[in-house]
Chains A and B, each alone.
Chain A
């Protein structure tokens, strides 16, 4: 099964995960300082900055795009509850 390596910059830990895993599934287990609200791309609580590896993430859905725009998040941000890792190395600011 394809793997992706997700590094949590502030925690100093890298998690090797199966491709397709959502960021929220990893971040809530690893103890990152990200809070979660609705978990369905509505509230914007779990906005997360991607430091590198955005090309290894799933595309934004129209709904995620809307929530990110409403929260004035830049192009390097994703909703942890929506973004899936597809492979390669990804670093998040958490």
Chain B
């Protein structure tokens, strides 16, 4: 399986001219890449011009230019398309534009500011395209589809209409390096495909579903992503798989109109656990809210992230130890970057010995993750007394009312708000 230095034909006049990075073991800090990755770039030849779709990481530019030169001269290049401006796809762009100064660059509207930040010049000329825009190469037509937030605001897909080839950017991609390139030739990359989705696309699943609506009606013969195998065998199955992955997991668990509130806690002496129980009891008194209680002590490997993705609200109980919330709580909170939590309801509570900083810290983190945290959390010094337990039940009840929309709309003054805070 030695890598050939040659460009590889994907369809007549359309070639893969990307680069292989087999020794990469970690991508963007967050992803493990057990057998490396590829930076896929493509060359489309028409009767009147040549288009280059995406480039490669700057460190692999030589490999890219070497393959490009096998299939086109620089003065033939009329069109450059960047489907996604992350540096692993735009790294060789400045040099490509230097070598092919006549080429017109096509990017999405949201890519404009990123382009300036990446290329560090205001002189660069470019054309902004959106869904429905086309570029004619002579016998080959590039048709653009705006598919934003997959996984950056700028992302788009480009179809070669006559050949049914969709250059999909990072969508349908994966980190899997195999010089045999095509999905019917390479090793088993199914894990990589799913892993990539879970870490890169999952936070944007609503946008995934929007993009699928746009792409599903197309006559697709090949999906050519910007990383990993080229999907020429059963390309539609990858659209279907994305649709499955982006669909809610637990839609049968909770009634159609019921709301789900998850109460997580961890407790060293059982006090925060008592409070969690009271929050849950309070929430359960509200019709239409399904409450679940989980001990984070048993969190190793459990799919709490999956649960939170489907939930409407979360309440987190942490003791304060050495002036901080405890590690399992931070572990849970730091794992939420792979899902969309914006606008979910959040709350915090906990027992403490000296100072009780954990509650505010967790609330701040929840706000930082863009959850709503409308109700001040409950703190109890050591063993919660009945009044504190009642405040926990009230917290649960208020959270549940927020979820059902049964909360009375309150009008309060700024001074009342400030006094609640203290």
Contact = CB atoms under 8 A, between A and B. Distances in A.
A75 interface: no
Contact of B410 (A13, A21, A32, A35): A13
Interface stretch (B194-202, B298-306, B365-373): B365-373
Contacts of B113: 70, 72
B374 A11 contact: yes
A94 B368 CA distance: 13
Nearest to B373: A31
B254 interface: no
Contacts of B256: none
B373 A16 contact: no
Interface string B233-257: 0000000000000000000000000
A14 B367 contact: no
Nearest to A29: B417
B370 A33 contact: yes
Interface string A1-19: 0000100001111111110
Interface string B352-388: 0000000000010001101111111000000000000
Contacts of A21: 414
Nearest to B420: A29
B414 A17 contact: yes
Given A13-B374, A13-B410, A15-B412, A30 B110 contact: no
Contact of B370 (A13, A35, A72): A35
Contacts of A70: 113
B402 A16 contact: no
A15 B370 contact: no
A26 interface: yes
A26 B414 contact: yes
Contacts of A94: 372
B343 interface: yes
Contact of B372 (A10, A14, A72): A10
A31 B370 contact: no
Interface in A33-73: 33-35, 70, 72
B367 A72 contact: no
Given A11-B372, A29-B421, A16 B367 contact: no
| Most chain B C-beta atoms within 10 Å of own C-beta, residue among A11, A26, A29, A94 | A11
Interface string B322-355: 0000000000000000000011000000000000
Nearest to A17: B414
A15 B373 contact: no
Contacts of A15: 411-414, 417
Contacts of B374: 11-13, 30-32
A31 B412 contact: no
Nearest to B421: A29
B30 interface: no
A16 B343 contact: no
Given A31-B372, A31-B374, A33-B342, A12 B409 contact: yes
Contact of B363 (A5, A18, A31): A31
A35 B421 contact: no
Contacts of A10: 343, 372
Contacts of A14: 409-412
A5 B417 contact: no
Interface string B9-33: 0000000000000000000000000
Given A12-B407, A13-B374, A35-B370, A29 B418 contact: yes
Nearest to B342: A33
B176 to A, nearest CB: 34
A31 B402 CA distance: 13
A70 B407 CA distance: 38
Contacts of A18: 414
Contact of B367 (A12, A17, A35): A35
B366 to A, nearest CB: 8
Nearest to A71: B113
A33 B421 contact: no
A13 B376 CA distance: 14
B130 to A, nearest CB: 14
A17 B411 CA distance: 11
A40 B8 CA distance: 52
A86 B266 CA distance: 45
A32 B372 contact: yes
Interface of A: 5, 10-18, 21, 26, 29-35, 70, 72, 94
Interface of B: 110, 113, 342-343, 363, 367-368, 370-376, 402, 405, 407, 409-414, 417-418, 421
